[in-house]
Amino acid sequence: MSNRYWSKNIIQSPLFDWLLLLIWTGIGAIVRFARLASLPPWTDECATIAFSLGNGFHSVPLNGLIGLDVLLQPLSPLPDRGVGAVIEHLMAESTHPPVYFVLAHLWMKLFPAIDGLASIWAARALPALLGVASIPAMFGLGCLAFRSRLVAYITAGMMAVSPYGIFLAKDARHYTLAILLVIASLSCLIYTVRAIQTKQILPIGVGLVWVVINSLGIATHYFFTLSICSSAIVLLGKAWQESRAGWHILAKPYWRRIYGVAAGTLVGCLVWLGAFQSINGSEPTSWIYDGNPNVEWFAPIGRLVIWIASMLLLLPSAVTIIPTWIVVVSGLVTIIFLVSIWTSLVGGFQIQQENPDTRLVLQVLGGYIISAIALCFIFTYGLGMDLTLGARFQFVYFPAIIAWLGVILAGVWESNQLDAPESGSQKGQIDNKIRNNSVRLPTLMSQIISRLSVSHPSNSQHLREKGKTVVVCILLMGLLGGLTVIGNLGYLQNHRPDILAPIIQQGSHSPILIATTHKHHGQTGRMMGLAWEFKGLRDINSAARESKFFLAHRDSTTSTYTDAVEVFQKTLSQVKRPLDLWLVDFRAPVDLESQQCFPDQRYRGWAGEYKYKLYRCPAFP
């Protein structure tokens, strides 16, 4: 008895809060920093690093032969580059706002260059650190939103092991900063809805903080606009609900303060309106128009489902690098697991819907998530901007889903609270509500289900332990998904130059020339990834070490590669033979037979999201 009393006191002490949060944060840090520099930078990471260093891509020559060092020059730190250079190159060559890049610039200055290049570990450490910070941030959101330590524990744990969150945190990009700002904005939204519910005026400090958060969010990622719009839809729904008692209510002081926050946020957004409009038609973002949702209408829905699923679990499923049978088994296990926990999740949701302390916030989060997904589909099907093509764009509602699942799992954990048999008076109250039709359907269904589930009081202990087991299993599956991300075995994948580079090295016996067609710095980044990997290979041969690259640039006036291909063929006729020519993502017709270059059928296909072909170019007779 004394041991149980001592354990209960420990669990209820503030020290336990900090200890458990520290454990979750430690686990989250381990999985985010593990093997952080194991992969070479991919396209977008190369752009992030270059712009963060205050460099641009115009220094890389086009339509000519270049070596590894010249191609990688934008990734070399220069001591005279400051914040001004970061903003200048970013605004001239990219479509991203500057906040993260300025922060990354200051961060990267703390770390020395390695072999003349920026440290890839340092570049990824900043988003990983911000990803770790999202764990206590979600704990704070759980405490603020639900006023429940249990919800806060589980929410922090879900964020710590979420495969999707780990994937974004290991990428040298700005998404973990955007996620932190989404968490902060959600906290302000929930605080505001509570103020409306109690007819209290929103403190001016909270309003100003919310405006600053939203403004920083836009200045971090333009798609943060979707978060702002989703919050606005939730508030509009609340306004419509209150207006049913009279439109004059919307003129109350507590509503006028919210109008001020909306006006401040609008001003913060309008500052970036011109830059946001430049995304439409911009070359670096043209790929989001590559989808054809009006014909392949189900594809965006399918992609969205697997992106959302990865927020909870992810098993080995990288079809390009692991056997198909493993992918099939992983898919079956995923389906079986989701089906097995479905009833528990529904039960947890119904429990929390019956709890007045959580019902309001659960509705706010649900409205936010539905609004964000609806906006995603409007962009995809209505505007032709397929936001489901990139898993990373789902950052807008990722924290809301984690919080929503966290409160549901807290209900699953505490499911024993509904296990006690009902008294006769309770049963009579429910029966009267059924007869009088005076209870809402979700409430009624929850009560009926709870009555059915407690028909056998002897099952109380079993149900209680089952609920806790379900929560533990979900967290363990999330951790397993995190390990899948660490091993680069999941379907959450970026370009993998580390897969193609060994193929090029293995297949080459003569000096190497890698050629690609070029539209913008995205293609430059793809080649940079290969060049980076060549420099990092320990057993690299001399042919790979002395590789040359040719970026055949598309003419901006004619939108063709005709002139670039002519220059390429002329260059090819002058280069020293024998030569191994690798066409990588080369999207233009080129006559190589006239150059006495012949395809090697053993080396052609796809590797690491690169399409490649090898041509052998023997010495001229």
Residues 203-229 have pLDDT tens digits of 999 999 999 999 999 999 999 999 999
Question: How confident is residue 200, by pLDDT bands cut at 50, 70 and 90?
Answer: very high
Task: Determine what percent of the chain is predicted with pLDDT higher than 90.
Answer: 72
Q: What is the mean pLDDT of residues 98-104?
A: 97
DSSP letter assigned to residue 548? E
Instruction: Give the contacts of 173 (CB within 8 A, at least 6 positions apart).
Output: 44, 45, 48, 127, 392
* pLDDT of 127: 98
**pLDDT mean over 436-453:** 38
Going by C-alpha positions, the residue among 584, 589, 575, 606 that lies closest to residue 510 is 575
Q: Which residue has the higher pLDDT, 456 or 415?
A: 415
Supply the pLDDT for residue 128.
99
| pLDDT at residue 271 greater than cutoff 60 | yes
pLDDT at 282: 63
- pLDDT for residue 554 is more than 70: yes
Query: By C-alpha distance, which of 255, 443, 222 is closest to 352?
Result: 443
User: Binning pLDDT at 50, 70 and 90, where does residue 365 land?
Assistant: very high
Q: Can you give the pLDDT at residue 296?
A: 79
Q: What pLDDT score does 18 carry?
A: 86
Q: Which two tokens stand for residue 104?
A: 């990354």
What's the average model confidence in pLDDT over 100-116? 96
> Per-residue confidence at 16, pLDDT binned at 50, 70, 90?
confident
Helix residue spans in 414-491 (DSSP H): 424-436, 441-453, 460-486
Mean pLDDT of 525-539: 87
Q: How confident is the model at residue 439 (pLDDT cuts 50, 70, 90)?
A: very low
DSSP label at residue 114: B
pLDDT of residue 457: 40
Average pLDDT, the chain: 87
Q: What is the DSSP string of 140-182?
A: HHHHHHH--HHHHHHHHHHHHH-HHHHHHHTSSSSHHHHHHHH
Would the pLDDT of 307 be above 50? Answer: yes
Sequence length of the chain is 621
The per-residue pLDDT for 453 is 40
What phi and psi values does residue 66 have, to the nearest 5 degrees?
-135, 150
CB burial class (10 A; 0-12, 13-18, 19+) of residue 125?
A: buried
pLDDT at residue 449 in the model = 37
pLDDT in tens, 142-170: 999 888 889 999 999 999 999 999 999 99
Contact 467, 416 (CB under 8 A): yes
pLDDT of residue 539: 60
Q: How confident is the model at residue 279 (pLDDT cuts 50, 70, 90)?
A: low
- Weakest mean pLDDT among 353-362, 390-399, 493-502: 353-362
Answer whether residue 424 shows pLDDT above 80. Answer: no
CA distance 313 to 341: 13
pLDDT at 383 over 80: yes
Residue 83 forms beta bridges with which residues?
none
Split at pLDDT 50, 70, 90, the class of 118 is: very high
Q: Give the separation between CA 559 and CA 551, rounded to whole angstroms.
A: 15
User: How confident is the model over 175-192, as pLDDT tens digits?
Assistant: 999 999 999 999 999 999
